[in-house]
Amino acid sequence: MAGRPGYLTLPIFSVLAAIGYVYYTTVLVAVPRWLGLSTAAGVANAAAFTALAAACLATYAVAVRSDPGRVPPGFAPDVEDAGSTVHEIKRKGGDLRYCQKCCHYKPPRAHHCRVCKRCVLKMDHHCIWINNCVGHENYKIFLVFVLYAVVACFYAMILIIGSVLHSVPKDEQSGSDSSRTSIIICAVILSPLALALAVLLGWHIYLILQNKTTIEYHEGVRAMWLAEKGGDLYHHPYDLGVYENLISVLGPNIFCWLCPVLNTVGNGLRYRTSYDIPISTPPL
């Protein structure tokens, strides 16, 4: 049973245990077997992996604890606002989207999470591994965590493979059974984990380049099918071009894109669309 957002659950303990075990096996088993902790190469790799593991833990903690974005009490869309060129409506009836459970209107791209029992701004999905929703406020930190985790997994695999290929002297063979067991277990954990995280990272990079959430992707598939059925073309309204899409998620400062900091753009209640008139365009 899922706990309240921000609380420790079994999946969170599983992630922390996996990080701890991979770190122990990589730094205290694989590196000493291959490079040795008394060499410059061994110390450098141990320090680099330690820093990477610390970054994973820090970003994971922020993703678990950060609020994905709440809808302000009494929110109501301003249909007469000329600056809001897109208003999301229900498929049936054409009314503005209203959450019957939260008793308020839904801002653009917001959805109700059945696990968190509230509406989340620009909701992407509810992730059991962080016991939290991924939304407007914490999407970037979630993405950075997955990126760090992918790099850490492949880095650990390289060090583990190197330790396996490294020939251990015969007089040390008797004391290396436990280290071999640790390496085998770690390899069994890392292989599917690295693949799954790499696929997840690739998926979200694809979404970011089109300025979509996971929910919007699935909604877009249906919208595209309906548009083609009616002889029209479907265009995702929030797709502003690759660079603008990256800025909208990662922030305006390109040097902070991969930094574990929360620098969301906007308040999550209104988003630029491809129908907006550019500021640089002179009035007619």
Q: What are the structure tokens assigned to 278, written together?
A: 């550019």
> Which listed residue (56, 116, 127, 186) is catalytic?
127
pTM: 0.87
Which residue in this structure is represented by tokens 């000329």? 82
Percentage of the chain lying above the pLDDT 90 cut: 56
| Closest alpha carbon to 127 in 9, 23, 18, 222 | 9
38, 148 contact by CB (below 8 A): no
Write down the pLDDT at residue 279.
46
Alpha-carbon distance 135 to 106, whole Å? 14
In the chain, the amino acid numbered 48 is A
- Beta partners for 105? 98
Alpha-carbon distance 35 to 216, whole Å? 48
Residue 154 in 3-state DSSP?
Answer: helix
Residue 7 in 3-state DSSP?
Answer: coil
Alpha-carbon distance 270 to 136, whole Å? 11
Per-residue model confidence as pLDDT tens digits over 185-203: 999 999 999 999 999 999 9
Alpha-carbon distance 7 to 148, whole Å? 23
Per-residue model confidence as pLDDT tens digits over 29-49: 999 989 888 999 999 999 999
Which residue in this structure is represented by tokens 């063979």? 173
Percentage of the chain lying above the pLDDT 70 cut: 85
pLDDT band at 73 (very low <50, low <70, confident <90, very high): confident
| Length of the chain counted residue by residue | 284
Write down the pLDDT at residue 170.
46
Alpha-carbon distance 166 to 29, whole Å? 12
pLDDT band at 259 (very low <50, low <70, confident <90, very high): confident
22, 182 contact by CB (below 8 A): no
119 is catalytic: no
pLDDT band at 75 (very low <50, low <70, confident <90, very high): confident
Alpha-carbon distance 230 to 224, whole Å? 10
Mean pLDDT taken over the chain: 85
What integer is the mean pLDDT of 9-17?
95
pLDDT band at 223 (very low <50, low <70, confident <90, very high): confident
56, 152 contact by CB (below 8 A): yes
Write down the pLDDT at residue 83.
53
The DSSP secondary-structure symbol of 269 reads S
